[in-house]
Amino acid sequence: MTNDLNKLTLAEARNGLRAKKFTSVELTEACLSAIEGAGALNAFVHHTPEIARAQAAAADARIAKGDAPAMCGLPVGIKDLFCTKGVPSQAASNILKGFKPEYESTITAQMFDQGAVMLGKLNMDEFAMGSSNETSCYGNAVNPWKVDDRQLTPGGSSGGSASAVAADLCLAATGTDTGGSIRQPAAFTGIVGIKPTYGRCSRWGVVAFASSLDQAGPMTKTVRDAAIMLQSMAGHDPKDSTSADLAVPDFEAMLTGDVRGKVIGIPKEYRMDGMPAEIDALWQNGIAMLKDAGAEIRDISLPHTKYALPAYYVIAPAEASSNLARYDGVRYGHRAKLASGDGIVDMYEKTRAEGFGSEVQRRVMVGTYVLSAGFYDAYYNRARRVRALIKRDFDEAFAAGVDGILTPATPSSAFVLGEMQDADPVEMYLNDVFTVTVNLAGLPGISVPAGLDAKGLPMGLQLIGRPWEEGELLNTAYALEKAAGFVAKPAKWW
């Protein structure tokens, strides 16, 4: 049993710890052993075994005293976008090489205060910009699912988090979602990932990509685990001006699985030309499962959906170009070596050219362009107006009585690593087609594994909820999870 402790869910491990069936130290050692044997996945990029063992021992002492919050003693992985005190926090970028923060992000501080155990930092796309984890300065993470010996992407940007959870290297992981970066990798690896309402979780100490879109959330093995972990991550933070001063409900207590009488909207605009038959069949199956569970299915229209992707790829790069201006080689991170006679502008240019990867450079240039004089109104302000219309579409659907919305999570299952690297960047951006609307509208969304395609790869369904009603969303996801009965795991090859 001890050797397989890493395969437990958060809920199973929590209950086992409280029942004294094993210790947090034993649980942590099982995860550390699994991580050591999974170098081929390249999921963990900074290992913190000493911190993990110390935190596990402290958690065992708390549990012995009867002081055991839900996350106490549970080993998790932390996406490299979260600042962790004294531990490298690079956002998978060479420009932050060697950066060890003197502070802890609010979310990780909350989790560690509750006794969670940090196993290490997880791989990701550079500055969270990517859908395949191939823009990372550490090299790409690899999906534990495989087809014909070809390595697959775990998705992005939270690819390391998804890979680690799917391969049982950790019990759960933190992720961030700016346009689908939790939900898409969750769908690609057969796990659960929830993006909460914008403002539900603090952004303080999370390296910024696009400040009006970024939101942290949990990536877990089950919906119940997502409820448990979200409870520990959520809450008001006075250090974050966008953090909502709202009480955090007991999400786990809301998991009844009863969705009778709930109205689930099916947006016609998500039935896109060229959608693979398997994705459409999965969607229809999801509709049938919720209907059988007692939900009312209603066709709805979200007419501005078709403008979401272009609006997102104006707003997100614009905010990125502003946020990434702080990386100049002056205060922290990488600084280029200068030739005799080079001035401050030369240092900025050389540092940023060496430190930022090609995808980050592309987005910074796009963002700078759309914010420049003469183009600000034509691009950025127009995109903001489209964003308002997209939010209004959702508001009107919810006002008409819709409780949740069901869509596919991704337009395909995981693709082969390298397959899209040399393609038109827009091809890669299309991976976010079903997810970006949720970020633009600030809504909660969750991906639930619901089936396998013909190649034996996992596919996910997305549920979108009303703002601040993550509890209701999780309950609907719980009903869908029970109906789908997805228990498949990748065959170990790493």
pLDDT at 298: 98
pLDDT at 424: 66
What confidence category does residue 332 fall into, taking pLDDT thresholds of 50, 70 and 90? confident
Phi and psi at 128, nearest 5°, equal 70, 20
Burial (CB count <10 Å: 0-12, 13-18, 19+), residue 141 = buried
Between the alpha carbon of residue 263 and those of residues 235, 259, 290, 476, the distances in Å are 28, 9, 10, 11
With CA atoms as reference, report the closest residue to 162 among 147, 145, 149, 178: 145
Q: Could you tell me the pTM of the whole model?
A: 0.97
> Residue 179, Cβ neighbours under 10 Å: how many?
31
163 contacts 460 by C-beta, under 8 angstroms? no
What confidence category does residue 409 fall into, taking pLDDT thresholds of 50, 70 and 90? very high
Burial (CB count <10 Å: 0-12, 13-18, 19+), residue 64 = exposed
pLDDT at 374: 87
The 10s digit of each residue's pLDDT in 180-209 is 999 999 999 999 999 999 999 999 999 999
pLDDT at 308: 96
The 10s digit of each residue's pLDDT in 43-62 is 999 999 999 999 999 999 99
Active site residues: 79, 157, 181
Cα–Cα distance measured from residue 303 to residue 282, given in angstroms and rounded to the nearest whole number: 23
What confidence category does residue 423 fall into, taking pLDDT thresholds of 50, 70 and 90? low
The 10s digit of each residue's pLDDT in 271-308 is 988 888 999 999 999 999 999 999 999 999 999 999 99
Q: What is the average pLDDT score of the chain?
A: 96
pLDDT at 274: 80
Half-sphere exposure in the Cβ direction for 363 (13 Å, CA): 29
